[in-house]
Structure 1
Amino acid sequence: MDSESNKNDRFSSLGFIMSAVGSAVGLGNMWKFPYITGQYGGAAFFLLFIVCLLLIGFPVLLAELAVGRGGRGNASSSLTKLSGSKAWGALGFLSVLGAFFIMAFYGVVAGWTLHYAVLSFTGNLFENGDYAGLFNQFIGGWAPIGWQLVVMIVTVLVLIRGVSKGIERFNKLLIPSLVVLLVLLAIQAMSLQGAGEGVSFFLKPDFSKLTGESALVALGQAFFSLSLGMGIMVTYGAYVQKSQSIGSATFAVGLGNVLYALLAGLIIFPTIFVFGIEPTQGPGLVFVALPAAFSAMPFGALFGGLFFVLLSFAAITSAVSILEVPVAYATETFKWKRNSAVLIIGALCFLIGIPLSLSLGGGADWMTINGKPVFDWVDFICSNIILPVSSLVITIFAGYVWKGAAEESGLSAGWFKLWLFMVRFIAPILVLLVLLYYAGVIQVG
């Protein structure tokens, strides 16, 4: 499918919402959200996260969707078309570049989840109790590259089929499956003896635990959890029918994001509290602490396997969205056939992911800068600098430059004034705070 035919390849209303939700509910909510919630105040942090979604997430999400549908192009060309300036298109290209490099390391982490699903179902995950050692040995070897390849092959096969027959159908299959797994695992976790303490930690707020740092981390999580700044929602906006209410879609995607985070918390916190695991363990919570908990519960191999299948589903739905951003750019800018764009860009992301994976200890551990693996640096630069800058560009563009925002947003006069106020004055300041915080410019206690 080339760039011309792709112009008529649109989402249905339900397909768009499912695809946008699939993009948003990735590894960030299931892997990152639980441990930062544990570190920064439990239920109080969760409530703060929801407030931040309303203040920063919804306004920026609506802005990205409106720009994409108004421009009917990729994350770069939409800005050029709507502004008449190539300078704005160059700024939009930053999100395309970010999505490309994010896909390179995201495929690696998604591969880890597939590996752990297989390990759990076979029972091999629980053969020895050194889960930290097992994880470090795995990511420090060559095996992750094979699993990364599996993720990339699945992602490429979905994207080759296009928007409606590929991305939409894939998400219509996986998102309901994801919901079933979430509910099943949440019921199982909350039925464990002693699970009430974990549920209380997650749902009963203690606002004395909140700090200035908690607020900035909640802002960052609200921002990242909706896949903002990657060009995904601008790209998806270009595939949305004119009859689709993007205001309603924004609310639906945001609500789906909150429900996903809620169910993730109801799976993880009861489980770790029952088995005496600290909720502040950091990234190792999922790949080290939770396997220890699964090993101690009845049918642990089954539930552990289902949990990592859930992670895999979430990872791959997001991977499909991320890779679509540079694919859309290549088909429109270079006039590549869609199949060629998907195969070439998928192959490049995979090849770049190899040294990133090996920098964690698989023979290329010399690839470090200031003692930090290149994998971590690429993650840091993309997630904490490129994404906030790209979102800042969108908010300024939608709030001050683009004159068609009112019509394209489809909002009533009252809602539009509120959204315009948020996107002009509130969201840019909060995005800038997130950028300065994660870049290390400002520090709070």
Structure 2
Amino acid sequence: MKGLDKKAGSSGERPGEGGVGFSKGGFILAAIGSSVGLGNMWKFPYITGAHGGAAFFLLFILCLVIVGLPILLAEMTIGRGGRGNASASLFNLTNKKHWKWFGLISIITAFLIMSYYSVVAGWTVHYMIQSFAGALSDSGTDYAAAFLGFAGGYMPVFWSAVIMTITGFVIARGVSSGIEKFNKILIPGFMIILLILMVRALTLPGAMEGVEFFLRPDFSKLSEESVLIALGHAFFSLSLGMGCMLTYGSYVQKSQSLGKAALAIGFGDLLYAFVAGLVIFPTVFAFGMEPASGVGLAFIALPAAFAQMPLGFLFGGLFFLLLAIAALTSAVSILEVPVAYAREQWNWSRKKTAIIMASLAFLLGVPSALSVEGTSGPLSSFYLFGKTIFDLFDFSTSYILMPIGGLIITLFTGYAWKRAGEEAGLTGGLYRAWMFLLRYVCPLLIILIFLHSIGLLDFK
């Protein structure tokens, strides 16, 4: 096998290769920034409340331990051991070309996700500006019609370009000076804003009704369906199966404890989801809104609630600033996956690669920006396989490609790479437990997540 400094896909930016990579704290912040995405904000609190509150929260923690953390650790371990992009690392550790091709799946997945994720991220920036400007403060506004009118126009294309420009700029500056510094500024700011919004939400009249909906334990609501939903969210919330943590892992110092890093990242993801629930549901219930999930919660129900709140323009603006930060930190980790591959594959400079990949992802995302279902967008009535372009990209990446990518990681670490435990720093019982989960438990559960996601396994 080739030596570390000469491995396929080496970028020269990694520790031990003439580069500095991440600092220990910088890596954890960047990884938390990757996992802190939009899904936790508008999906996790609702599914928690709908499936038994604290009972579901405990179930989610269990699923995080059984599925999320083992695969997270595997991705980071492969990245640091292989010292290459999401494709090259698999080849470097086995010297077998078929793993290189398997690794390409996660790179393609990340590129496709970036194309439409930038569209949604752009919505958050638009709403942030509108809220701070007071344009969302009229309680008589039809917020559903306002959102559909905006999403059906051409402005989302502009905001997608803004997101791509910011993301590309951060990545072009490098791992230490760009990605790490960006997260070191934004993640602490993110937590401060989140806590301010939580305090404001919990002091609203009627807020405790929302807290009760979110956290009241009701074990009678737990079902087979709840287990599958908890498993799926434990997998998706950590950005697994798309090469982000593998790519970030390749920039980690050898002295960093990957096990402790995985626990810190998992805890950060869990804490964010918990506090997000204490922001959203007290606010929704205080103003008599129906709890909802997804786009309807973030861009329709909550703007209507903020419009009725004293200083609502300020708190609404902070909320969308929070969403924008979550979107941007995730976007940086997603785009870094194809950027790392392209610059190592073709020996391009980081700046050139960032510009090319950001531009291509933007162009690919334009049809998604113009095809949001329910709007009057130019492509909203164009369907492929029964879905709009936006929904097709979302479905194929989230529910098909990401589980496949996660399955590849478990099989590679569990069966193909014999020195995974040494790289991960696990020995004895911890190593045996990790291997047992990766070889037997995680693959089965990922298959169940996949079957449930595509509708072939439904207990409703």
TM-score (structure 1 length as normaliser): 0.97
Q: Secondary structure of 1:125's match?
A: coil
Per the TM alignment, residue 340 of structure 1 is displaced from its structure 2 partner at its CA by: 1.0
Q: Which residue of 2 aligns with 1:108?
A: 119
Q: Which residue of 2 aligns with 1:140?
A: 152
Q: Which residue of 2 aligns with 1:184?
A: 196
Structure 1 residues 15-24 or 75-84, which shifts more?
75-84
Q: Which residue of 2 aligns with 1:67?
A: 78
Q: Which residue of 1 aligns with 2:107?
A: 96
Return the match for 2:341 from 307, 329, 332.
Answer: 329
1:55 partner amino acid: I
Q: Which residue of 1 aligns with 2:450?
A: 435
Q: Does residue 424 of structure 1 match 2:439?
A: yes
Q: Which runs of 5+ in 2 are unaligned?
A: 1-8
Question: In 2, Cα distance between the equivalents of 1:130 and 1:266?
Answer: 26
Q: 1:47 to 1:278 in 2, by over 3 A?
A: farther
Q: Which residue of 2 aligns with 1:382?
A: 397
Cα pair 1:159 1:320 within 8 Å, conserved: yes
Q: 1:336 to 1:23 in 2, by over 3 A?
A: same
Q: Which residue of 1 aligns with 2:320?
A: 308
Return the match for 1:55 from 52, 66, 72.
Answer: 66
Q: Secondary structure of 1:372's match?
A: coil
Q: Does residue 157 of structure 1 match 2:169?
A: yes
Q: Secondary structure of 2:12's match?
A: helix
Question: In 1, Cα distance between the equivalents of 2:315 and 2:190?
Answer: 14
Question: In 1, Cα distance between the equivalents of 2:187 and 2:132?
Answer: 22
Q: 1:444 to 1:234 in 2, by over 3 A?
A: same
Q: Which residue of 1 aligns with 2:411?
A: 396
Cα pair 1:3 1:335 within 8 Å, conserved: no
Cα pair 2:10 2:83 within 8 Å, conserved: no
2:308 partner amino acid: A
Question: In 1, Cα distance between the equivalents of 2:128 and 2:445?
Answer: 38
Per the TM alignment, residue 412 of structure 1 is displaced from its structure 2 partner at its CA by: 3.5
Question: In 2, Cα distance between the equivalents of 1:442 and 1:24?
Answer: 26
Question: In 2, Cα distance between the equivalents of 1:219 and 1:267?
Answer: 24
Question: In 2, Cα distance between the equivalents of 1:141 and 1:56?
Answer: 40
Return the match for 2:360 from 341, 348, 354.
Answer: 348
Question: In 1, Cα distance between the equivalents of 2:281 and 2:56?
Answer: 14
Structure 1 residues 212-221 or 250-259, which shifts more?
212-221
Cα pair 2:49 2:215 within 8 Å, conserved: no
Q: 1:224 to 1:138 in 2, by over 3 A?
A: same
**Map of 1:82-93 to 2, 5 A cutoff?**
82-93=93-104
Question: In 2, Cα distance between the equivalents of 1:208 and 1:159?
Answer: 47
State the Cα RMSD in Å: 1.4
**Map of 1:353-364 to 2, 5 A cutoff?**
353-360=365-372, 361-364=376-379
2:245 partner amino acid: M
Question: In 1, Cα distance between the equivalents of 2:63 and 2:220?
Answer: 18
Q: Deviations over 1:369-418 (max 9, x none)?
A: 25421100110000000000000000011011100111001123221111
Q: Does residue 6 of structure 1 match 2:17?
A: no
**Map of 1:32-43 to 2, 5 A cutoff?**
32-43=43-54
Cα pair 1:3 1:338 within 8 Å, conserved: no
1:387 partner amino acid: M
Structure 1 residues 267-276 or 362-371, which shifts more?
362-371
**Map of 1:402-421 to 2, 5 A cutoff?**
402-421=417-436
Q: Secondary structure of 1:124's match?
A: coil
Structure 1 residues 244-253 or 296-305, which shifts more?
296-305
Per the TM alignment, residue 6 of structure 1 is displaced from its structure 2 partner at its CA by: 2.1
Structure 1 residues 4-13 or 200-209, which shifts more?
4-13
Q: Secondary structure of 1:411's match?
A: coil
Structure 1 residues 317-326 or 403-412, which shifts more?
403-412
1:106 partner amino acid: Y
Question: In 2, Cα distance between the equivalents of 1:309 and 1:212?
Answer: 36
Question: In 1, Cα distance between the equivalents of 2:49 and 2:295?
Answer: 11
Per the TM alignment, residue 47 of structure 1 is displaced from its structure 2 partner at its CA by: 2.2
Q: Which runs of 5+ in 1 are unaligned?
A: none
Question: In 1, Cα distance between the equivalents of 2:365 and 2:10?
Answer: 27
Question: In 2, Cα distance between the equivalents of 1:401 and 1:271?
Answer: 49
Q: Secondary structure of 1:103's match?
A: helix
Cα pair 1:37 1:46 within 8 Å, conserved: yes
Per the TM alignment, residue 86 of structure 1 is displaced from its structure 2 partner at its CA by: 1.0
Per the TM alignment, residue 282 of structure 1 is displaced from its structure 2 partner at its CA by: 4.4
Q: Does residue 204 of structure 1 match 2:216?
A: yes
Q: Does residue 76 of structure 1 match 2:87?
A: yes
Per the TM alignment, residue 39 of structure 1 is displaced from its structure 2 partner at its CA by: 3.6
TM-score (structure 2 length as normaliser): 0.94
Per the TM alignment, residue 4 of structure 1 is displaced from its structure 2 partner at its CA by: 4.0
Q: Secondary structure of 1:368's match?
A: coil
Question: In 1, Cα distance between the equivalents of 2:40 and 2:57?
Answer: 12
Q: 1:4 to 1:208 in 2, by over 3 A?
A: closer
Cα pair 1:39 1:280 within 8 Å, conserved: no
Q: Which residue of 2 aligns with 1:247?
A: 259
**Map of 1:124-139 to 2, 5 A cutoff?**
124-127=135-138, 128-139=140-151
Return the match for 2:26 from 8, 12, 15.
Answer: 15
Matched length: 444
1:369 partner amino acid: L
Tell me which stretches of 4 or more aligned residues in structure 1 moved more than 4 Å: none
Return the match for 1:222 from 215, 234, 248.
Answer: 234
Q: Secondary structure of 2:457's match?
A: coil
Identity of aligned residues (%): 55
Per the TM alignment, residue 27 of structure 1 is displaced from its structure 2 partner at its CA by: 0.8
